[in-house]
A and B are shown apart, each in its own frame.
Chain A
Amino acid sequence: MENLLVWSLILIPWLSALGIFLLRKHLAAVFLTAFNLLVLTALSLYLWFNGNFPVTLQTPKFLDWIITIYDYGLLFYFLKQGWEHKNKAVSLLAVIQLILLTWALLIMPHSDIGNLYIDKLSVFMYLIVATVGSLITLFATRYMQDEDPSREAEFVAILVWFLGVMNFAVSVNNIEWFFALFETTTLASYLLIRFRRDEISFKNALLALWMNQIGGIAILLALLFAVHKYGITHFTQLLQHKEVALFPLAFLSAAALVKGAQMPFHRWLLGAMVAPTPVSAILHSATMVKIAPYLILRLSPVLQNTLLAKLLIIYTGFVFVVTALLALNEVHFKRILAYSTISLLALMMLAGAVGTPLAITVALMLIAFHALAKALLFLEAGVMEKLYKAKTIYDMKHLINKAPVTVFFILVGFLSMTMVPFAMFVAKWLLISEMAQLLSKASYIITVGILALGGAILTVLYLKILGIAINRDEETFKVKLEKQPFLYAFPNTVYVALILLATLLISPVLAHLFAPITADIVNQAPNFATDTLDVVVDNLRLPFWQIVIAFFFVVVFPIIAHFIHFKADRAPEYTCGEPLKVQISTYNMVCLEKAYPYLEMVALALFVLVLIIGGGML
């Protein structure tokens, strides 16, 4: 039964993509994306409640051949792209991958282990792809109508096809198959970043292509070592091996770091922001880059407590703080969101590397709620781009006058990432508390400082942007809710509703969704109290009354503040009596530009340390 469901989750998006591409009609695209949303969510939920996990599934022999042939085809396509666009890095890396792949295939032993491995973590990722991902594809149908209707079918088809790829990638057990799917996500990035077909799009697509290929090479090197030294070809073998194989773990982690655009590989993600907004949403924040923390979580049972894990913690902690800082200097809204994404991905991987049950739960919470929040924010970026012509934060000035609902959704998106009582705050709070009690490990105490500092920086960043949007010059007696096309409003409303609902019900969500997944990954779950709406675990307690009151302050109050009008006389703003023309702007941390090359160097040095020392090469 699991076999049928998993293959449906992979093939239904692929068939829908084919249908969208062939039918070439807007209505067909809307229907098929909505169909995907319903069917994929239903199948994932059914699998969650009725599946027996974990389970290893066998696949037919011919599939091995198909994937190998596909691998070569893909790498030759990359080589061709490098050749056509005269990009040496792309071509060289593709050649290296071809050599390494051939070598790996030559020495690969025959194995009877199932090539698919499904546990609750996989189903969790299916759910995220099904809800967050499908809603983005639904949004994309309307978005392309406003951008370029003649290419709508092509665009939406690639996005929907990608959902199937994502589902496949979180189901595989075979490391070579994982390599194939990893490079397929790179292909998806490449095709979609260059979609607008202007010079900057091609440049950034090639940048993404060669940087991600480094990740592919890392996986191949890990595979080669694992096969050569231990005869390991599957993840389950890697996780059960009696001695910890640091070298493959380090290189798989490196692949995750590259896919997660950690410094110094962050440039590809920032460059990817030139693509249409649904691409940024689905690939580069909500779904594809989640492969990075997913991979770390897969490896976490053996990663925990190794030197590699400690180095990863230091490295991702550094990236978390530095990318949050760098975001303070950006003015382009999507670039700010990109830096924020990289920052939080670093945090997810940090939590995964710590590896205790509570830390794993934290990583899962961050994955889920970051996906929701960033999808919301990127789709709002798309709405602002198309309806209000706002791309930089300065264009967002006084947006509250024109678009109060959009500003409110952006407020929920941003504040859900840092403020009490939202789930991501609960995650950070749990992580700080957990780190403070792991006394004997210095790298864990560093995490407290990193979390405190990074959290403060991100809060400042989000408030800075919200501040510009809510600036207004007069009382609004009639609040005009802006009209948006249904396909723009619907996905965003669903995201906001899910975030708000999950926030109030965070205790049952923790006990019944996240704890079981943690149990599947590390065989032990934190004991969240199930009989109360307070968040209770070990000696930590967040009472429900605090959640509710904070919820009222952060969510309800900004809404009702629009509708309450005091009977008071109006006084103009104080400008020393001068008739000044006031123009509102904001701080930018320009001093960071000087520090940027040094920060990149330190990040590169830390990355190399992770590989060499963490990989046990010394």
Chain B
Amino acid sequence: MKTLLLVLAILAPLLGGVIYGLERKVKARMQNRMGPPILQPFYDFFKLADKRPLQVHSFHSLMGIAFFLAAWFAVFSLMVGPNLLVAIFLHVLALLFITAGGFSVKSPYSVMGALRELAHILAAEPILVFAVVGLYLASGSWNVIDILHSEPPPLLKMPLVFAVLLLTLPILLKKSPFDISEAHQEIIGGWEIEFSGIYYEAVYTAKWLEYIFVYFIIFLFGGANYLLGLGLVLLAFLFVALIDNSTTRLTIHHMVKFSLGVLLPLAAFNVFWVALWGH
């Protein structure tokens, strides 16, 4: 089990690329078009690596690379590391880099994207903490190995927490209606705009790693029932794609109010319930 997770963590960018490619295919089919091949993200990688390197300044490019490396480190700590809660905060660390990168250039779109990214952090991170606390209460351990052996699956004790996490996925993955920090029509990609070529590849791959990070936590709600876990991941995957294709973008006010005003209390209620009466 440990070695499997270690291998998964090392191959995470590749796995993430496949998931991202699948998502583009699913999204395309929902829009009644063919869509790119599933391995398109890897074709993109080779294309981007081939381009003439352009940058605004090295610090900015380095922050993009740091985002990729820190995101990989977060995924690695999530799968291999002994404590789930630490991995959540390492995820914030990864976002710190891209936010810093976004702030470091004199580009209005980049800075706007970075500021909106801060709103994403504010909205999503408390939910992730609650999700992990929920997993702890349901399985009795912070260690991912124990959670993967927990019977009954954490989903049964923490249905609301799972539902809340599901609804937070658009915020974490920057999908409509909460694709606010990218908002192509409004701020032309936000902090992505000033990256190009191989530096953009770093940021692009980091996004794949976000998928792995988030979907792995979803998988953990299946506990020892890996089939259930895969089913939950599939459900989440399709749900995110469906919502992405059928909603328009909201504002950061909506996002933060919804997340902290509706989702967080629901998650807290579930945790309360289990804590006070679930034993």
Partners in one complex: yes
Residues of A at under 8 Å CB distance from B? 415, 419-420, 425, 429, 432-433, 436-437, 439-440, 442, 445-446, 448-449, 451-453, 455-457, 459-460, 463-464, 466-468, 470-476, 539-543, 546, 549-550, 553-554, 557, 561-562, 564-575, 580, 582, 584, 586-587
Which one, A459, A543, A571, A584, contacts B111 given CB within 8 A?
A584
Q: How far is the CB of B34 from chain A (nearest CB, A)?
A: 31
Q: How far is the CB of B103 from chain A (nearest CB, A)?
A: 3
Contacting residues, chain A, for B104 (C-beta < 8 A): 467, 470-472
9 closest A-B pairs by beta carbon, nearest first, are A467-B103, A573-B107, A568-B53, A452-B129, A452-B126, A571-B54, A475-B57, A473-B106, A561-B62
**Contact flag A460-B89 (CB < 8 Å), given A439-B275, A467-B99:** no
**Contact flag A574-B90 (CB < 8 Å), given A445-B271, A468-B103, A475-B58:** no
Contact status A566-B110, CB under 8 Å: no
Given contact pairs A429-B85, A436-B133, A460-B121, enumerate 16 new A-B contacts (beta carbons under 8 Å).
A453-B126, A456-B121, A463-B121, A466-B100, A470-B100, A472-B57, A472-B106, A474-B57, A475-B59, A539-B142, A541-B83, A546-B90, A554-B96, A573-B194, A575-B108, A582-B108
Which one, A543, A554, A571, A587, contacts B93 given CB within 8 A?
A554
Q: How far is the CB of A171 from chain B (nearest CB, A)?
A: 38
Contact status A566-B53, CB under 8 Å: yes
**Contact flag A546-B86 (CB < 8 Å), given A439-B276, A452-B130:** yes
Contact status B99-A463, CB under 8 Å: yes
B208 CB–A CB distance under 8 Å: no
A566 and B57 CA atoms in complex are apart in Å by 8
Q: How far is the CB of B60 from chain A (nearest CB, A)?
A: 9
Q: How far is the CB of B32 from chain A (nearest CB, A)?
A: 32
Q: Is the interface of B mostly helix, strand, loop or mixed?
A: helix
A587 and B61 CA atoms in complex are apart in Å by 24
**Contact flag A573-B272 (CB < 8 Å), given A448-B129, A564-B62:** no
Contact status B106-A569, CB under 8 Å: no
Q: How far is the CB of B153 from chain A (nearest CB, A)?
A: 19
Contacting residues, chain B, for A432 (C-beta < 8 A): 85, 129, 133
**Contact flag A569-B54 (CB < 8 Å), given A471-B106, A582-B106:** yes
Contacting residues, chain A, for B111 (C-beta < 8 A): 467, 471, 584
B122 CB–A CB distance under 8 Å: yes
30 contacts between A and B (CB under 8 A): A419-B89, A420-B93, A429-B86, A433-B136, A442-B276, A445-B271, A445-B275, A448-B133, A452-B130, A459-B121, A459-B125, A460-B121, A463-B96, A464-B115, A470-B104, A472-B59, A543-B81, A543-B82, A546-B81, A546-B90, A550-B73, A553-B66, A553-B69, A568-B54, A569-B54, A571-B56, A573-B110, A573-B194, A574-B107, A582-B108
B114 CB–A CB distance under 8 Å: yes
Contact status B83-A540, CB under 8 Å: yes
Residues 181-220 of B contacting A (Cβ, < 8 Å) = 188, 193-194, 196-197
Q: How far is the CB of A111 from chain B (nearest CB, A)?
A: 45
Interface 1/0 per residue, B256-277 and A, CB below 8 Å: 0000100010001001100110
Interface 1/0 per residue, B53-92 and A, CB below 8 Å: 1111111011100100110010001000111011001101
Q: Give the one of A436, A455, A468, A580 with max B CB within 10 A.
A: A436
Contact status A470-B130, CB under 8 Å: no
Contact status B118-A464, CB under 8 Å: yes
Contact status A449-B193, CB under 8 Å: no
Q: Give the one of B86, B92, B107, B125 with max A CB within 10 A.
A: B86
**Contact flag A565-B58 (CB < 8 Å), given A452-B129, A464-B115, A557-B66:** yes
Q: Which residue of B lies closest to A438 (CB)?
A: B275
- Give how many A-B residue pairs fall within 8 Å (CB-CB): 195
Contacting residues, chain A, for B279 (C-beta < 8 A): 439
Q: Which residue of B lies closest to A456 (CB)?
A: B125
B28 CB–A CB distance under 8 Å: no
Contact status A574-B125, CB under 8 Å: no
A567 and B143 CA atoms in complex are apart in Å by 43
Contacting residues, chain B, for A429 (C-beta < 8 A): 83, 85-86, 89
B52 CB–A CB distance under 8 Å: yes
**Contact flag A550-B100 (CB < 8 Å), given A442-B276, A452-B125, A471-B105:** no
Contact status B86-A566, CB under 8 Å: no
Q: Give the one of A445, A446, A564, A570 with max B CB within 10 A.
A: A445
Contacting residues, chain A, for B77 (C-beta < 8 A): 546
**Contact flag A439-B137 (CB < 8 Å), given A463-B118, A467-B99, A543-B81:** yes
Contacting residues, chain B, for A472 (C-beta < 8 A): 57, 59, 104-106
Contact status A433-B142, CB under 8 Å: yes
Q: How far is the CB of B87 from chain A (nearest CB, A)?
A: 9
A468 and B99 CA atoms in complex are apart in Å by 11
B109 CB–A CB distance under 8 Å: yes
Contact status A570-B56, CB under 8 Å: yes
Contacting residues, chain A, for B54 (C-beta < 8 A): 568-571
Which one, B55, B99, B129, B276, contacts A568 given CB within 8 A?
B55
A570 and B69 CA atoms in complex are apart in Å by 24
Q: Which residue of A lies closest to B271 (CB)?
A: A445
**Contact flag A460-B118 (CB < 8 Å), given A561-B59, A568-B61:** yes
